[in-house]
Structure 1
Amino acid sequence: MDRTKKATIREALKWASSRLQNNNIPEAEISAEVLLRYILEIDRTRLFMSLNQPLTSEDWYKFEDVVNRRSSGEPLQYIVGWQEFYGLPFKVNRDVLIPRPETEVLVEEICKASKRTWQGTSDHALVAADIGTGSGAIAVSLARMNRRWNIIAVDMSLSALQVARENAVLNGVERQISFFHGDLLQPIKQQGIKLDILVSNPPYIPTKEVELLHPQVKKFEPIRALDGGETGLYFYQRLIEDLPHVMKEPGLVGFEVGMGQADQVVNALGQWKKIKKIEKIKDLQGIERVVLASI
């Protein structure tokens, strides 16, 4: 676009949509709108009321920069710095995975199962742990849904824990959540804490398949949060080995799993004789996405 001419919001949107489409970016028009609203710091209604208003030179250069970033494949969420999950806002950056809608199934199923197990969790101050918390999406969502729960969020990455802390504050649950830096269940074992509920969405992509991921994921999202070892089951195996050391009775364990992994995780859980019931729950695409075990 000719920078010597003042571009209107309408013209800027048209230019951005075309550029994104030419670079095979999905939902180009929506992305263009979100990026321009981000730059102008206005809502959708005001954007469309101002279509004939010119952009300042400063706003144009900022808009061009973010459109170029999106054109290169950088996720929209990292550019604007947030993603909605379970109806809540979450800050995200390249230190954490972008929360996915399918993970909401894990949160929903844990909440439903806890009500069955404890016959109304509002009356119980349960202790739950989110292992590999990343952005804190699971921990924060569970805290908002269950105000009497005490939640432990664990991650190996200090930078990810900082993002999770910010999200706890953003969503008003910082007093409910304790943040532990460490390797899976090790900090919980070291402090002798016993859990009513354990949830985890660990890395589950087999190492050989990481290179086959969509370039947007492989290039921009943290590989340490994706690579699940040779079979994709490394972290499940380690977590399951430690369950007898940290779980109370009754108790709940919920895992998000990758496509085709549910039966293997069920079989691994079934080796522990205290497991009373194991369920496999499908996501909206019909994929077995959550494995839920009752102790």
Structure 2
Amino acid sequence: MDGGHWKTIEEAYRGGSRYLQNRGVDTPRFVSELLLRNALGCDRTRLFMRFGEPMPPEAARKFSHWLELRSAGFPVQYLLGEQEFYGRSFHVNPAVLIPRPETETLVETVLRESRRFGEKTPLTAVDVGTGSGAIAVTLAAEKPLWRICAVDRSADALGVARKNGVQHGVDDRVQWMQGDWLEPISKCGLRADLVVSNPPYIPSGVIDGLDAEVREHEPRMALDGGIDGLDPFRHLIRQLPDVLNLPGLIALEVGDGQSGEVAAMLRKLPESDVFIVPDLAGRPRVVGARIGFPR
């Protein structure tokens, strides 16, 4: 897209909105404003105050390029390189899944359930499949006394996660580990009080039917949960006794229609007290178990 014909910032905003609308992009005015603000490096108030100013050529080139990519389905979060989660900004790129608001329910569940150990008890928590590190970094920031271990099989994802740990001042309290599921934890002889995971849980056959924005741009490894979407849960729950202290807690994010089967897996663990937590939309989103706690 050639943005050289925009004389003012207002023309760029309106032209960008029309361009996105004509290509079927959702909320075109909002997206145009967001991309334009970032191209200019200003906040919303300053953007509208500058509407009458000439459109800077370098910002016009960047804005035009972003409009083309967005109209082709490239996620806004990857274009801007960030996504907010639990009140903090996180670096993201195509090596990691974009953090979703629903996952905040998982974090809130862990923070609430951890009170069973005592408010000021130093705990060890493991985040499996850390991706961008949103869960691990958030837990470290919210709980300064905790030790966090974050595991991912992707070296590129761990690079993004570590960057987020540094940005939020918690990198020295997070141990980043590459490997599958809980294997790096057990191989190191580590024990955890809490295990948390937002694993891949989309059935393999469903992925090709997802929105192109997800299907074509987010990492398949972070989406594909096997034939029925439940393989990651089987791996995690099978390995759990090797790493979990008693009493201990596990909390897992699940997809639609999966809560019953995951709960049944957890009930097979000795001394397990299984619970299900809905997200803000009322859908079962977190399945967890308190293991070895007095009832």
The one-letter amino acid of 2:206's match is E
CA RMSD of aligned residues (A): 1.2
For residues 231 and 111 of structure 1, what CA distance do their matches in structure 2 show? 30
Structure 1 ranges of 4+ moved more than 3 A: 1-6
Report the alpha carbon displacement of residue 119 of structure 1 after superposing the two structures with TM: 2.7
Match of 2:227 among 222, 226, 230: 230
CA contact 2:35–2:66 (8 Å) conserved in 1: yes
Q: 1:4 to 1:60 in 2, by over 3 A?
A: closer
Structure 1 alignment gaps of length 5 or more: none
Is 1:287 aligned with 2:283? yes
| TM-score, scaled relative to structure 1 | 0.96
Distance 1:103 1:26 in 2: 23
Q: CA deviation at 1:23?
A: 1.4
The residue aligned with 1:25 is: 25
Counting matched residue pairs gives 291
Provide closer, same or farther for how the CA distance between residues 7 and 185 of structure 1 changes in structure 2, counting only shifts above 3 A.
same
Cα contact 2:152–2:177 (8 A) shared by 1 = yes
Q: Distance in 1 between matches of 2:188 and 2:149?
A: 12
Task: Give the match for residue 265 of structure 1.
Answer: 262
Sequence identity, in percent? 45
Corresponding position of 1:221: 218
Residues 259 and 288 in structure 1, CA contact (< 8 A), matched pair in contact too = yes
| CA distance 1:52–1:178, shift in 2 (3 Å) | same
- The alpha carbon displacement at 1:57 in A equals 2.2
Report the residue type matching 2:71 in the other structure.
S
In the TM superposition, what whole-angstrom CA distance separates every residue of 1:16-68 from its partner, at most 9, and x where no partner exists?
11111111111111111111111111111211110011112222122111111
Give SS of 2:78's match.
helix
2:149 is the alignment partner of 1:152: yes
CA contact (8 A) 1:40 1:59 kept: yes
| CA deviation vs aligned residue, 1:154-194 (integer Å, no higher than 9, x gap) | 00000000000000011111111000001111110101111
Listed as ranges, the gaps of 5+ residues in structure 2 are: none
Q: 1:283 to 1:88 in 2, by over 3 A?
A: same
- 8 Å Cα contact 1:6-1:56 kept in structure 2: no
Alignment match, 1:43? 43
1:118 aligns with 2:117: yes
Which of residues 173, 194, 203 in structure 2 aligns to 1:176?
173
